[in-house]
Amino acid sequence: MKFLKNSKGFTLIEMVSVILVLGIISAVAVPMFDQSTINATLVANTVQTDIQYTQELAMTRNQNITISFGAGATSYNLPTDPSGVWSADTRELPQGVTIEDAVSITFNKHGEINGGAVVTLNAGGTLKTVTVAGFTGRVTVP
């Protein structure tokens, strides 16, 4: 029997090895592309900024200003500037992100609120909270 010394191609062992390595790489890499955590954090930071905007608006306009979030909503309204400089705007949440509970946050002219408030966001099963501390009105995303 005559064997070819310069046969070109891959052996079955080489092909199985490559498929195995690609399987391991894809098993490790695919979970890294989970966007729900990124969306939840991004939306929570946007809500935090909008609540802080409401607080600053109350202090600069020297009156009570309220921002409200509806349960199950996919958007919320930014407050109208009492001086008429800015009109109310609707903030649309990204697809798959909803507000869990109805929350209404009212800041007084000193930027304070009575009690505390928590806005919970659901981004594809990933929950993220925005917390407003009582009295000081400090807004955080833990």
Position 9 pLDDT exceeds 80: no
**What's the confidence (pLDDT) of residue 95?**
86
Question: Average pLDDT, stretch 21-26?
Answer: 86
Amino acid type, 87: S
What is the pLDDT at residue 34?
Answer: 58
CB neighbour class for 23 (10 Å; exposed up to 12, middle 13-18, buried from 19): exposed
Residue 107 belongs to some domain of the structure: yes
Residue-wise pLDDT for 55-66, tens only, equals: 999 999 999 999
Give me the pLDDT at residue 107, please: 95
| Chain-centre distance for alpha carbon 138 | 19
CATH number for the domain that contains residue 42 = 3.55.40.10
What's the number of domains the chain is made of? Answer: 1
pLDDT in tens, 58-96: 999 999 999 999 999 999 999 988 888 877 889 999 888
Q: Find the domain containing 133 and state its range.
A: 36-140
CA torsion sign, 59 to 60 to 62 to 66?
negative
Q: Is residue 115 part of a domain?
A: yes
Write phi, then psi, for 33 (nearest 5 degrees).
-95, 15
